[in-house]
Homo-oligomer: A and B are copies of this chain.
Amino acid sequence: MEMIGKAAKESGVSVKMIRHYESLGLLKGVPRTASNYRVYGENEVHTLRFIKRARNLGFSIEDIRALLSLWQDKRRPSAAVKKIAGAHMAALEQRIAEMQSMLTTLRHLSHSCHGDQRPDCPILDDLARPH
C-alpha cells in the first residue's frame, strides 16, 4: 500500500502536483484507503513518471493529456504522437528565437554601456527612445 509521499519520491513529482494532476484528470480512479488516503500502484507511479518526463521536455498539460491517451491506445498511429511533438518543437523554436532576439538587442545595448559611476546609459536611452 503505497501512499502519496512514497509515490512522489519514486516519480519525482511533488505531492502537491500529484493531487493537482489527478484533479486535472490525468490520473483517473486512484483508489483510497478506508481513511481516505490515496493509494498508488505501479501503474500510477509509471504514469507519474511519464508526466514528469514530458514536463521536463516542456510539454503542456494538454499535450500530456493527449500523449497519455495515445500511450494507452495500443493501436495509435505513431504519426499522431509525432505531430504533437512536432508542434511542441515548433513552439519551442519560436520562443527560443524570440528570446535570442531579445538577447541580441540586450547584448548590443549592454556592450555600449560603460557600467560605471557615470549616469550616461545607452540601455536607458534605448528604452526611452521616442520611436
Which of A114, A116, A128, A131 has the largest count of B CB atoms less than 10 A from its CB?
A128
B95 contacts A82, C-beta separation under 8 Å? no
Which residues of A59-104 have CB atoms within 8 Å of chain B's CB atoms?
Answer: 67, 70-71, 73-79, 81-83, 85-86, 88-89, 92-93, 95-96, 99-100, 102-103
Question: What residue of chain B has the Cβ atom nearest to residue A124's Cβ?
Answer: B71
Chain B proximity mask over A103-131: 1 for CB below 8 Å, otherwise 0? 10111011001111111110110111111
B82 contacts A123, C-beta separation under 8 Å? yes
Question: What residue of chain B has the Cβ atom nearest to residue A125's Cβ?
Answer: B71
Given A96-B99, A102-B57, the answer on whether A113 and B78 have CB atoms closer than 8 Å is yes
| CB pairs A–B below 8 angstroms (27 shown) | A46-B128, A46-B130, A49-B129, A53-B129, A57-B102, A58-B99, A70-B124, A71-B124, A76-B121, A77-B117, A77-B119, A78-B113, A78-B115, A78-B117, A79-B115, A81-B123, A81-B124, A82-B110, A82-B123, A83-B115, A85-B110, A86-B110, A89-B110, A92-B99, A93-B103, A95-B99, A99-B99
Question: What residue of chain B has the Cβ atom nearest to residue A88's Cβ?
Answer: B106
